[in-house]
Structures are given as structure tokens and as C-alpha cells.
Amino acid sequence: MTSNNRRCVVSGLGVICAVGNNVEETWKNALNSVSGIHKTTSLDTKNCYADLAAEVNCDTLDDIECPDEKDRASKLCIKAMKEALNDAGLGDFADSSRVSVIIGSCVGGVLSIEKYHRGGKDANEIPKMPIAAIASQVAESCHAGGIVTNVGNACAAGTISIALACDLIRAGKADVVIAGGSDSFASVPYSGFLSLHALDENGCSPFNHCNGITLGEGAGIVIVESLEHAEKRNAKRYCEVLGAGVTSDAHHITAPREDGVCLLEAMDRAVKNSGIKKSDIGYLNAHGTGTGKNDNAEINAFLKFFGEENPTLSVSSTKVMTGHCLGAAGAIEAVFSIKALTTNTVLPTLHYTAEDSEAIKAKVGSMDYVQNAPRGKELECVMSNNVAFGGTNASIVFSKKPGDVQSQVAKDKKIAVTGIGIVSPIGNSKEVYLESVKNNKLPETASICSTVSNDDYKELGIKMAFYRKLDNLGQLQTVSGMRALKDANLTVTEENAKQIGIIVGTSEGGLGATYDFEELIAEAGNAGGSAFKFPHTVYNAAGGYLSILSGIKGYGVTITTGPLSGLDSIGYSMNVIHDGQEQVMMATGTDENLPIITELCQKLNVAADKVVEPYSNSNGFVVGDGSVSVMLETEDYAKSRDARVYCYALGYGNGRKNVKFGHISGSGEALDIAINEALKDAGISANEIDAVCGFANGLKKLDDIEKAAYARVFGDKLVTLPLFQVKERVGEGRAASATLAAAEAALMLGGELAEENAYFIANDGSVSKKKVSAAGFKKILVTSFATGGSYSAVVLGK
Amino acid sequence: MANEEIKSKLKAFFMSDLGVDGDVLNYDTPLFGEEIGLDSVDSLEIISFVDDNFGVSMTGVAKENFQSIDTIAAFIEKNKA
């Protein structure tokens, strides 16, 4: 049985979608087989072949603090969050470090992008644009002071958020996690799915007519709590969350694998991680989008996976009621699954005729594809699946019994850093980067970017048939990822493909591509979208392309929380390895500097107008970009294949003090928490740190936070502690710079970077700079930040 | 519009909108072969481009018409008003 300290329970639910503005209303309508799909009232449908959508109808979304500062996606999410907290009997958390927020989203603040572009470029819209705003504003609304993260895996994001919530609790990093997903209906996804001819003009008909999807919108929140915490406060308990499985198809950027084998692998992982039998699952809330490709892949995968062991499994798709709510889908469907479990009810897929029933029966045999009306059925466990663009598959199990969940089974394994891939404004490989450092290369202008060329593709053997599809972010990501694999001398094979995973951290992800798409349809109308460009708007497209190119089929998650995402990719990767999920993880940080990104920084008055360096007390920073990938693997695995080891990943930590998203001032003490947590995780004291690779970029209010926190944490030692700042050379490359800081630490510990400029902070706060040899370093601290008040730290050591 | 002009317009479209390297794209190069590697998403873009620029609908048209710039241009020639 799952040990009590690994048990995660659900103590509260919240939902808003087309069939209800709360759980009670939504559930009642679901039991009455109500569909929320109607003609859209909010978008222009001129020349569009499909005009249906499942829109939220709620006039109280603005009844929150500062509604003008929030995108509709945040408003939907905060509404569901409030209901869930109320349901759980929880309120304000007073910045408690034990309460986390993890929210999945696909298009995030796309309505604010549209508003900015079509409404006179008002700078107030900018902080509402990235997905990262959602979890941050949820945390700000209830003062959750733990790990705050957004998952950007498109339509699987909601499910992954709940899985990640359990991982954090089981790793001892949180007691309560507000987990879920949110997305709003908007022109970009509507036009995008139209361009793919993926909308069903008659309304979606999953596992039935399968002519396409119908878009919805909404948010779902599940309060996941450690059993211990729930028991202590005598909380309501809906059910347990058992294991989950996340895999990558390595197949196509929009289409799922027809054979469904990687979805099958995700379900297999979920069942194994839960410690249950396949036959324990009584109901499966399928992804069931209504496209032929998705539904047939699922039908095949379910037959193959459950087959003889569970031949009468009940299956349905609730998307005929809610529409496809993208990043919220998994969260809303989790709420349906949990309500189904606790009320012993299986929900139907709607709109089957007698003829349709015969047709599905011929396809699925004895399997119970529930049709038209709900039905009572004694349930012990339910499964919820979601799949996404980029080839992501996610599966999770909710249960009445504790199961036998295995987690942190590899906690005692040492994690080695074995490969580094760098794409930066000063070079597209580790070798060129090191050469540029040696030559003291610095930015020449205040906005710099990396340039991937055909030479990079040629050297890495990437064919034109592949690279022609990539957008800029995908180019940066695939080149840095493939270089990291090469540097680690790791060949992906059929045998090891499932043992390797990828976590991409990104601050803005597909925001630039989304803006590009918005420009296109603002001109051409919603009927004029591009099927070629649309996939790039999802934040996990870059990671998806890397998985397709490399063949990596294991864990694949894109996190998006601001610059620190590039460091959290390392921390979360360590957790995936410690959970025994993968032997090898690629942790990466990627962000781009398209002209629109520099424009947004300028509008926010954070872009410098000339080249500035860290600690220069400036009003802005040099805008940069890049992609940096770091290979992490268990020491055993590294030894088994004679891999070169740069250093070891010893610990990671996070801290948060809530300030408004887009702001940082006043949150500095949370950096102390992140550093101290990382030191504790590594089992060392601040005195053992030989150097810091930090995040200063020249912007005074940011650099001052860093200086002050180091003074508090390191005390007298600070005057002699070398601080290395990669942004001196590559500008503010957000997540790419965060991973680059870690890569630079690894290069110093591994002896490949002999010396580099270091900054020293004197007792009076003044800063000096000199070249320092890395020869004696044994342990290096790496830090990063995100607006809204989050900080992360990682300790690397010999 | 002369056949050559159609072909040249198509080639420019493949280069600018579908990321194809012009050096390896001849009028008879197989578009859905290994080298260029177009797929179903790209064919949606081709259909939309041909419709917008030549007023010819290729929706539901047999696969062989999409084989190369030559075959697409021939289809346009044959079907334009």
C-alpha cells in the first residue's frame, strides 16, 4: 500500500465551463446530458466553415481584485480556484512556502495579445500575455508562497499539472497544491483549428462521426493535498490521486501516432505508478476530441491496453458537453472523473443514434462506450487521459483506495551532468561559446539574438524536410538539444528512447509565434489562418520538435514561469529521475528575441537603449535569447555507458513572496528561501559554496534584489565570493540564460571553462569585476527569478 | 497567366511559406518525397494558396496532382476559368 507520507488526496474542486459556472451546476447539467455547444457569439465567423463553440456565460468574472490587470484565462482560473478553496475549507495562505500553484494552459493570454495588437499597443496588456501570468495571479490571489508553475503542454497541460502537483507533494516540496488548467476561446485557436480543417461544422462527435473538434473554454481546479495535511485539519476528502504517466510520441507536431503506442505507454506508466491492476479502472474519461486521427488512435490504444484484462471498461468523452477546452481540458475532465468516481456514475458521450451505436460496437466489441445518458456503476478507480500537439500523452488515476504508489524510489541516486548544448547570441555550440568567453565577447547592441544556420543543421545531420517546418524557437531548441545529446555521446535507440525525457523551460514560449499568427488573421480574417504556422503558437512545440527529431519518447513537459523556468527544468528533471521515471533527462531553457519581444520589453521600459552590464544600476537590460540544454542522468547509467561527467546536480530549491505579476520589487527575501532550500536539499551549508552563477542583467531593481539576498545568505563571505553573470555576454535571455548559468557552472566544475569575469560585492555594496580562475571550485550555486516574486536555486558540485 | 509564371509563383510560395530550400526545389522535384517532406498540414496550405491566388479549388483533388510544382501548375492551367 502507498505509505502515508506519499498519499495525495483531493480536498476541493472548482470548475467553470460552458455547462456551468461551478461544480454543482456543471455536474447537474452533465447528468442531464446537456451540451454547451452553440453558435459562437464572441468571434467573427465570416467565411468560416464552422461557427460553433462552447463558451462560458458568466457575468461575475470581474468580481476579483484588479480585473483590468488580468486576462480572461486568469479570471476563469481565479473563479474556479476560489470555488475549490472554499470547497476544501481553505482560504488565504499568507505566503506559506508549503502551498503551491500549478496551472496548465495552451493559449494563455491570447486575448490580451489580440487586444494589444488591435487596440493601439497599450503596454498594460503586455503582462497579461504570457501563460506564466495565470499561476502567478492565482498565487497572488490566495497568497500561495510555494512553487508556482505553469505547464505549457497544450491540450494535455491540465492533466500534467495535477500529476506534477503529486510529484511535488511526494518529494516533500509542498503540502497543498492548487492544480488545474485554464484557457479562453479566442480568434487565434479558432482560426488555427479552422486552418487545419480540424473543426466539425456540426459540433464534435467523439468516437462517433469523428469529423473534428469544437472549441470550448473554461478552467478546472483540483486541490491536491498531502494526506497528513488533510488529516491534520480534518479536511474533506474526495479521493486519492494515484500515479500518472507522461510520454512523447516523437512522431508529428499536430497528429497523434495512429498506433497509439506512446499513449498506451502513458497509461501503462499511470497504472504501474499507481500500483493497481488494469481491471481496477472502471471508467476512463478519454481525450476524445472528435477528430478521426485522435479517436481512432485512442480506440486502438484502449483495446490493446485493457483488452482481455478489462474488457468491459466504461469509456466516454465529455467534450460534447464542454467543447475542447485545450489547456483546461485535463483539469475540467479531472473534475468530471472525480465526481464520477465519488458518485459511482459513468458519464456519456452524447448524440449517438441507434445506427451510431451499432457502428461503435462493431469497432470496440465488449468495451462499454457510454452513450447519451449517464449510468450508475460501482467504481474504485477512474482514469483520465489527454494528448496534445507536440506529441504529448498524459494519463492519471483517481481512486477511492490508496493503491501502491511508488515515488522517490531512486532518491539516493546521484545525478550526473553529462552533456551541454548551447545556442546563444555569442555562438551556436559549446565550443564556440567557450571561445567567445575566452575572447571576452560582449553584446554590440542592446537587442541581440542567436542565429541558427544551415551549417548547424548540416553538422547535426538535420534534413531540410525537417528543419523547414521549424519556427525560430523550434530552431533554437532543436539545435541546442541535439548538441547536448551529441556532447553527452548519447545515441537515442529503440531500447533507450523511453528511458529519456525532456523538460523545456521557457518564459514566453510561443508568444512570439502567437503574435505573428494574430497579425496574420487580423489582416486576413479568421478564415485566413495558416495551418503551417498555427502549431508554433503552442508553448510545447519546440520541445515536441526536439522529441520528433531526437526520437526521445519518455517524459516530456514544458514549464513556463518566467526566466527561472530554465533552472526549474533542472530541478524538476532531478525529481523525475529521483521518482524512478527516467534514467536520463534533458533539462533545457529556451526563449527567443523576435522583434516583437524587444518591442514588448521597450514598451515596458525594461529594455536598455544601449549596452549595459550586470550591476550597472541601469534602467534596463540588453534583450537576448538562446537555448541551452543540459543532460542529467543517474550516475549508474552514466557509468554504464562510460559517459564523461561534468559535475553532479546536488539539490534544488524554490521560494516565493507574492508581488504582482510583471513586478519583482518587495519579493527579495524569497530568494533567500530558494537558496536555503537548495542548500538543504544538497545537504550542505552556505560556507561550502565556492561561487555563484546568478541572474543579474543590469536592471537596478533586479540586481539589487540579488545583491541583498546574497549578503543575507552569505554574510561576511560575500566579499570574496565570485559571482558569474552570463547576461554580461548574452543579455537577458530569460529561460535560456537561466540554463546557461547552470551550464557555465558545469563547464567550470568540469574543467572546460578555466576562467571567467567575476563580480565581487564589497561591504558597502559597491561592485568590482576581475577575471577569476575556476580551478578550485567544488560547489557552485545557480540562481534565477521570475516576476510575481518567484526564485529558484540549484546546487551543482564535483 | 503563363504556365511558367504559375510555376515560379508556386516555387516562391514553397520557399517563403513552407520553408523549402530553393536550391533543391525544381519544378519536377517530388514534394511529398523524403527530400522536401511535405505532409498533410502542408497540403492544406497549398490548397489555400492555390484557391486564393489562382481561383482554383484543389479540395478533395486526387493525390497525384500534388506531386510536384509541374503537376500542380498543370492542374491550375486545366481548371482555371
Of B18, B36, B37, the CB nearest to A532: B18
- Distance in angstroms (rounded) separating the CA atoms of residues A736 and A473: 11
Grid cell locating A43: 468571434
Chain A residue with Cα closest to B36: A465
Find, among A184, A45, A168, the residue nearest to A112 by Cα: A184
- Distance in angstroms (rounded) separating the CA atoms of residues A325 and A331: 9
Residue B15 has pLDDT above 80, yes or no: yes
Angle at A21 between CA A19 and CA A27, to 5 degrees: 55
Q: What is the DSSP letter of A20?
A: B
pLDDT tens string A270-327: 999 999 999 999 999 999 999 999 999 999 999 999 999 999 999 999 999 999 999 9
Grid cell locating A496: 533507450
Chain B residue with Cα closest to A530: B45
How many residues in chain A?
Answer: 798
Report yes or no: A571 at the B interface, CB cutoff 8 Å. no
pLDDT tens string A686-742: 999 999 999 999 999 999 999 999 999 999 999 999 999 999 999 999 999 999 999
Active site positions of A, annotated = 155, 287, 324
For chain A, positions 195-214, list CB contacts with chain B under 8 A: 195-197
Find, among A151, A149, A140, A146, the residue nearest to A175 by Cα: A146
- pLDDT for A451 equals 95
- Distance in angstroms (rounded) separating the CA atoms of residues A606 and A591: 17
- pLDDT for A753 equals 98
Interchain proximity B37–A468, CB inside 8 Å? yes
**Helix or strand or coil: residue A121?**
coil
Report yes or no: B15 at the A interface, CB cutoff 8 Å. no
Of A196, A255, A464, the CB nearest to B24: A464
Q: Which residues of chain A have pLDDT under 70?
A: none
Distance of CA A420 to the CA centre of its chain: 22
Q: What is the DSSP letter of A699?
A: B
Please give the full DSSP string across A364-428, using - where no structure is assigned. HTTSEE-BSS-EE---SEEEEEEEEGGGEEEEEEEESS-TT---STTTT--EEEEEEEEEBTTBS
Report yes or no: B19 at the A interface, CB cutoff 8 Å. yes
Q: How far is A454 from chain B (nearest CA, A)?
A: 10
Grid cell locating A516: 505573428
Q: Which chain A residues touch B39 with a CB distance below 8 Å?
A: 252
Q: What is the DSSP letter of B59?
A: T
Among 1.10.1200.10, 3.30.70.1170, 2.40.128.20, 2.40.50.180, what is the CATH number of B3-18+26-79?
1.10.1200.10
Alpha helix positions (H), A423-463: 430-438, 454-460
Distance of CA A345 to the CA centre of its chain: 32
| ipTM score assigned to the predicted complex | 0.93
Number of separate helices (H) and strands (E) present in chain B: 3, 0
A171: Cα within 13 Å, side-chain hemisphere: 26
- Distance in angstroms (rounded) separating the CA atoms of residues A779 and A777: 6
Grid cell locating A696: 543579474
Q: Output A20-24 pairs: Cβ under 8 A, ≥24 positions apart.
A: A21/A56, A21/A57, A21/A58, A21/A60, A21/A79, A22/A83, A23/A83, A23/A87, A23/A335, A23/A339
Per-residue CA distances from A219 to A12, A45, A60, A328 (Å): 14, 24, 14, 5
- pLDDT for A305 equals 98
Give the per-residue SS3 of A265-291. HHHHHHHHHHCCCHHHEEEEECCCCCE
Q: Which chain A residues touch B35 with a CB distance below 8 Å?
A: 463-465
pLDDT tens string A340-393: 999 999 999 999 999 999 999 999 999 999 999 999 999 999 999 999 999 999
A188: Cα within 13 Å, side-chain hemisphere: 30
Please give the full DSSP string across A155-191, using - where no structure is assigned. GGHHHHHHHHHHHHHHTTS-SEEEEEEEE---HHHHH
% of chain A residues with pLDDT over 70: 100
Find, among A226, A580, A464, A206, the residue nearest to A356 by Cα: A206
Q: What is the DSSP letter of A649?
A: E
Domain chopping of chain B, boundaries: 3-18+26-79
Q: How many CB pairs under 8 A join A and B?
A: 46
Interchain proximity A470–B19, CB inside 8 Å? yes
For chain A, positions 253-282, list CB contacts with chain B under 8 A: 253-255
Mutation target to probe the B interface, by most B beta carbons within 10 A, among A453, A454, A464 is: A464
Is the Cα dihedral A77, A82, A83, A88 positive or negative? Answer: positive
For chain A, positions 494-553, list CB contacts with chain B under 8 A: 530-532, 535
Interchain proximity A464–B44, CB inside 8 Å? no
Residue type, A8: C
Chain B residue with Cα closest to A252: B39
> Are A56 and A217 spatial neighbours (Cβ–Cβ below 8 Å)?
yes
DSSP H or E run through A709: helix A700-714
**Helix or strand or coil: residue A62?**
coil
How many residues in chain B?
Answer: 81
- pLDDT for B80 equals 86
Interchain proximity A464–B36, CB inside 8 Å? yes
Distance of CA A569 to the CA centre of its chain: 9
- Distance in angstroms (rounded) separating the CA atoms of residues A701 and A787: 12
Q: Please tell me the pTM assigned to this model.
A: 0.97
**Torsion angle, alpha carbons of A408, A88, A341, A161, to 10:** -40
Of A195, A255, A465, the CB nearest to B36: A465
**Helix or strand or coil: residue A581?**
coil
**Torsion angle, alpha carbons of A78, A84, A86, A89, to 10:** -140
Domains of chain A by range and CATH? 8-39+51-241+260-399 (3.40.47.10), 415-797 (3.40.47.10)
Residue A154's contacts (CB-CB under 8 Å, 6 or more residues apart) are A106, A326, A327, A388, A389, A390, A392, A538, A539, A540
Of B17, B34, B36, the CB nearest to A532: B17
B1 band by pLDDT with thresholds 50, 70 and 90: low
For chain A, positions 420-479, list CB contacts with chain B under 8 A: 454, 463-470
Report yes or no: B23 at the A interface, CB cutoff 8 Å. no
> Are A671 and A706 spatial neighbours (Cβ–Cβ below 8 Å)?
yes
Please give the full DSSP string across A727-763, using - where no structure is assigned. HHHH-B-THHHHHHHHHHHHHHHTTS--EEEEEEE-T
Return the bridge partners of A349, or none.
A371
Mutation target to probe the B interface, by most B beta carbons within 10 A, among A254, A532, A548 is: A532
> Are A88 and A235 spatial neighbours (Cβ–Cβ below 8 Å)?
yes
- As a whole number of angstroms, the longest Cα–Cα distance in chain B is 34
**Helix or strand or coil: residue A526?**
helix
Find, among A63, A323, A70, A111, the residue nearest to A218 by Cα: A323
Report yes or no: B21 at the A interface, CB cutoff 8 Å. yes
- Distance in angstroms (rounded) separating the CA atoms of residues A601 and A328: 29
- Distance in angstroms (rounded) separating the CA atoms of residues A787 and A660: 8
Grid cell locating A656: 516565493
Residue A380's contacts (CB-CB under 8 Å, 6 or more residues apart) are A280, A282, A399, A400, A401
- Distance in angstroms (rounded) separating the CA atoms of residues A449 and A438: 20
**Helix or strand or coil: residue A205?**
coil
- pLDDT for A406 equals 86
Strand residue runs (E) in A450-544: 500-505
- Distance in angstroms (rounded) separating the CA atoms of residues A757 and A772: 6
Distance separating the N- and C-terminal Cα atoms of chain A: 38
